[in-house]
Structure 1
Amino acid sequence: MAEKDYYETLGVARDADDAAIKRAFRQMSKKYHPDINHEPGAEQKFKEINEAYQVLSDPQKRAAYDQYGSADGPQGFGGGQGFGGQGFGGQGFSSQGFGGFDDIFSQFFGGGGGGQAPNAPRQGADLQYRMDLTFTEAIFGKKTKISYDRDAVCHTCGGSGAKPGTSPVTCSKCHGSGYIQVQRNTPLGAMMSREVCDVCHGTGKEIKDKCVDCHGTGHQKERHTIDVTVPAGVEDGQQMRLREAGEAGQNGGPYGDLFIVFRVAESAKYKRDGSTIYLSLSISFAQAALGDAIKVDTVHGPVELKIPAGTQTDSKFRLRGKGAPRLQGAGTGDQIVTVTVKTPKSLNQKQKDALMAFAAASGEDVTPHEGSLFDKVRDAFKK
């Protein structure tokens, strides 16, 4: 039994075809993608969905999973260690001698028990691209172009691998099946096994006149440039998926996907947590005591903030709609302004007199501290 039920993860039957598996993956990935769903556990659920799809969408991995409960094939025997791992009687049991469980199975039954045909279309590999954004670019988004290297379908031969004007022909060794029968002598006698054809490498086709640009592979390296729209409100570490912008597929299969991972620079002025932006601001004692209307910076431009009389240090004020946009058009967050009341480090005589009068009016008996002995001696020499 498999430790993970990939069919249950995607919500499909065990006999579901490729179209049903792909459709289920798309529906569930949209629901749980971290860029869309910020609920606890959504990111882990998305990873499980992606893992299940990577196995069930690959016929070879799916066949191994259906048979052994693992996409990697047999992992053990009777609860013990795997044949290809740390020992059969304390020693490795791999490519030396019999060659592992898959080969033994193939020798007895003439094949690996199913799996993807080597000439079947296969999707290309996914790629990852890191995009650096400023604090402001992440909040408001932007349109840009990016360039990266990828494996693409050969533009000269269209992916056939054959010289223009010619076409691949049916393989003379496997007659188009992609497989050949091979006889091996084993301790149990001569055994027949089915292997991928060593002439056409499983494609079932031979290329007599190879393309001069791709040398028969059907692929060539290219510098690919695409337009990218960065959505407003992205955060550091989030990623965006661009379908079929990755590596070219095999045997006419689709391109893989490109994952753009965002790295957002910090701001010297603001702090951000999701859609909420934080700003620290200093105000004077008079502003805190008497109240005031002041200009406050936001990422959307300056706004007026009313400071009520009697405001204490560390008081917080909310500016609604002045934060970062939420992804998928779910509105805009707020900005939280935290004020700190400044205490002046030096006062002129009028300021001292005013504060003494304030203290007297408040019924306080204040004895001003006039500085250190060193300060008094220094001032005496100045006279």
Structure 2
Amino acid sequence: MASMNDKDYYAILGVEKDASTEDIRKAFQQKARKLHPDVNKAPDAEEKFKEVSEAYAVLSDPEKRSRYDAMRAGSPFAGATGSAGSPYAGGYGGGDPFGWGFPFGSNGYTRRTSTRGRSRSYNPRVGADVVFDLTLDAATAEKGVSRGVTYQRYAACEVCHGKGSVQAEHSETCPTCHGTGRISADLSGIFGFGVMDIKCPECEGTGRVVADPCEACGGSGRVLTASEVVFNVPAGSHDGDLVRVKGMGNAGTNGSAAGDFVCRVVVPEERLNPYQASGFRVLGFDLPFLVFGALSNSLAGLLVFILVIAAVGVAFIVRGGGLKTNSRWWRNALASLGNGAANGLLIALLMVSMFSCTAAGPGVRYYGYIW
């Protein structure tokens, strides 16, 4: 989510930077009339409506607008409401850990942004895992293998040691929302919307901001970097097995714990493709009807239905490449067969129940009342 520092609220509303409060109100009114979810059914209409509402909530309030203008201009007094001598600063760094290619792309650098006069939300979150698919043939997976991988991830900032701030020991109350994490815009005079409650765009809803953000990481406590990891895939591994390296995933924000590097073993010989999996599920679905027909002496009446369903299942399997000899592949095939049989059993039991009620006739329903 882009912070308040990164959004041009004037451009969002389509007004000049010296626009009056009335101009801002009219601009929002025009935008809201077009984007309100009750009127505009476009998929992104609600998101755009929230964005223009956020812009209006900031620019229509003189105090919030003054602070926003100061931060956008890089004023050293933007954080004057905080602790003396500790103006807020902020920025951002990094992006998608795999966004520059694997292991590196043409833009292999860590993004750094001047943080003078800007603030950064204090939002401690545990880092996400980095998942890597390793494709092996069945023989290699059976013997086991050691592999090394170079990849990009968020690592703890070495300058601030992951805290997000070099000097300050603790986060500070957000000056925009005063620690509530929400800001309100009074829209009662515009279409009768009433008061709209919006997540604070400066602290991103946490109510806290990083005082004196680190220049290297922009206050998040982590930077995008290249890492290397060596891991062992144990002997006897199979498709879908996971090898986990603790703490080598993305670092958490503001000193939170890091995620793991997770290697997911892929063995094509053991994996059913979608056509094969569907084929076995269809065959499994067919089995309860075959059993039901045999037990109820109605197999002849169900034979056409059973044969058609079986033919569809076989056609899917053939289209997927046919059968394989790998034992793990057959285990997966039987699992798909079982899933299909469970679904077919529910339908078959429903049919048995309906058949029993029909065969009993209305006289049985009145039997208990005759006596």
TM superposition score normalised by structure 2: 0.36
Structure whose residues are more often strand by fraction: 1
